[in-house]
Amino acid sequence: MHFSKKGDKGIMEINQSFLSSLSERNRSIIQLYLQGLSSYKIADRLKINRHTVTKVLKDNNIPIRTKNQYDENRKKRIITLFKQGKSIYEISEIVGVSHYSVRLTLEEENLTLKKYERDILNVARYIYMKNKGFDTQDIAKFLNMTEKALNKLIRNSGINISSVRRKTKNIDNLADIIEKKLKGQKNKDIAMYYNLDIVTVKEILDDFGLF
C-alpha cells in the first residue's frame, strides 16, 4: 500500500518513500497524477503514449480516478488556486487545462464575472478613463484589448456613452459601482458605500441596463 488515511501529510510522507524507488519517468507520471493531472495531460507533457501512463499507474497500484472524480478534483484545484491569488492564465498552466475551462469553472461558482458582465464593466472603465482625458489607444492597452476590439465593444454595447459621460464626469468610482452591482449588491448599499444619492446610483445603473 502506497497510501494511508492519515491525512495529506501522512500520504505525502509515504509517497516520497515509495516514489524514490521508481525510475525518473515513472516517478514523474505518478507525481503529476497525484497533483490532479489527467493521463492525457501527463502523456502530452512527458511526450509519451497515454497507455504508458495508465500502465505505470496500474502497475504501481495507484487508484485510477473516474471522470467524475477527475472533474471534481480539477474544479477544487482551480478554485483553490484562484483563492490563493493565481490568475486565470497561471491556473491554466498549473492545472493543464485551457483558459476557457478555468474561466467557465470560476463563472459556474460565481467567483468571476461572465463575459457579458465583463463587457459591461469594461465599458464603465472606458467611460471613466475618457472622462479623465485618456485616449482610446491608452484605454485599449489598459484593458488588454486592441483598439478595434474596444471600438466594437463600445459600438455594440447599447449604452449611450455621451449621456453617461455627462452624468458621471464627477464620479471617480464608476467602474467599482458597476462591479458591485454585477456582484449582487443592492442600490442602497452601493449609494451608502460611495456616499451618493440613491437616485443618482439608480440612474447610472439604469443606463447600463442594470435594474
**Of the candidates 149, 150, 172, which has an alpha carbon nearest to the alpha carbon of residue 161?**
150
DSSP-based three-state secondary structure for 138:
helix
Q: What is the mean pLDDT of the chain?
A: 86
The pLDDT score that the predictor gives to residue 10 is: 40
Grid cell digits, residue 37: 493531472
Helix axes 67-83, 88-95, angle to 10 degrees: 140
Q: At what angle do helices 198-207 and 161-168 cross, to 10 degrees?
A: 160
Mean pLDDT calculated for residue range 205-210:
93
Higher per-residue confidence, 149 vs 31: 149
Tell which wins on pLDDT, 24 or 16.
Answer: 24
Cell of 84: 490563493
- Length, in residues, of the chain: 211
Q: Which three cell numbers stand for residue 8?
A: 495529506
Domain ranges of the chain: 8-59, 67-108, 115-207
Q: Which CATH architecture has domain 8-59?
A: Orthogonal Bundle (1.10)
How high is the pLDDT of residue 31? 86
Q: d(Cα 57, Cα 37) in Å, to the nearest integer?
A: 13
Q: Check pLDDT > 50 for residue 43.
A: yes
Q: What percent of the chain has pLDDT over 70?
A: 92
Cα separation, 102 vs 183, whole angstroms: 19
Q: Which residue has the higher pLDDT, 70 or 41?
A: 41
What's the distance, CA 200 to chain centroid?
32
